[in-house]
Homo-oligomer: A and B are copies of this chain.
Amino acid sequence: MTQSTETTSYKDIKQTVLGRIRSGEWRPDTLLPNEEDLAVEFSCTRTTVNRALRELAEEGFLERRRKAGTRVSSAPQRQARFTIPLVRDEVEAMGGTYRYALVSALAETAPEWLAARLALTPGQRVVHVRCMHYSDNTPFQFEDRWIVIDSVPQVEQADFSAIGPNEWLVQTVPFTNVELSFLASRADATLAGFLDVTEGEPVFTAERITWLQGQPVTLAKMYFAAGYRMTTRL
């Protein structure tokens, strides 16, 4: 391995490979040389070739199959990536001063729709937290969240007037599986009040369900203020 002296970076290799695809030297469905041969050609390690090809595959330019090798994609599929920050970090990254406000936190029997949605046993209890996130006292996000008590028994002692339920969960059960959806919903009277929009206005909404080793932990609906956009470059 000549790791310490190599001068070809994986970015150089990505550019070279993309250039060959663009120029038509490597047409769609062309089988690429194997990684060892490319490492020799580019005078670099196989690790470097591997990283370049894997990123090009993630970006949709190549298709990699375990035994069949790496081919040029015929129909490039693009992957969009969004970093999901804590709302505090999102507000501060835009230069705002973050403020959190608890609206309500109540232990209750899971409502029927939630029990069905999370596959809870009838009668299982949840803590229902509603809270607001502000940027410079301007409404940024209204959060409506249910936390399953059997999955996180400590939640009954949590003080959500001092810390938001998402930050509390990240500290308490950081390693979860997440299902995340984006959708457009409609401001009802309550939401319109909290977000300071007209009733009936479209509201960009993110919905998250998280599980800890198969147990449902929480469902959260996050409603963003007017004009919010989730943007990425790819």
Contacts and interface: CB of A to CB of B under 8 A. Distances in A.
Interface of A: 1, 18, 21-22, 46-47, 50-51, 54, 61, 75-86, 170, 174-175, 177-186, 200-205, 207, 228-234
B233 A178 contact: yes
Given A180-B231, A182-B230, A202-B184, A80 B86 contact: no
A234 B180 CA distance: 8
Nearest to A201: B186
Given A79-B82, A202-B186, A175 B22 contact: yes
A83 B76 contact: no
A80 B174 CA distance: 16
A79 to B, nearest CB: 5
Contacts of A46: 1, 47
Contacts of A76: 170, 174-175
20 contacts: A1-B46, A18-B175, A22-B175, A46-B47, A50-B51, A61-B175, A76-B174, A78-B83, A80-B82, A80-B84, A177-B233, A177-B234, A179-B231, A180-B232, A182-B182, A182-B204, A182-B231, A184-B184, A201-B202, A202-B203
B75 A84 contact: no
A109 B224 CA distance: 35
Nearest to A233: B179
A183 B228 CA distance: 7
Contact of A47 (B47, B170, B183): B47
A19 to B, nearest CB: 10
Given A76-B174, A80-B82, A84-B77, A185 B184 contact: yes
B181 A231 contact: yes
B84 A81 contact: no
A170 B74 CA distance: 10
A182 B81 contact: no
A46 B66 CA distance: 19
Contacts of A233: 177-180
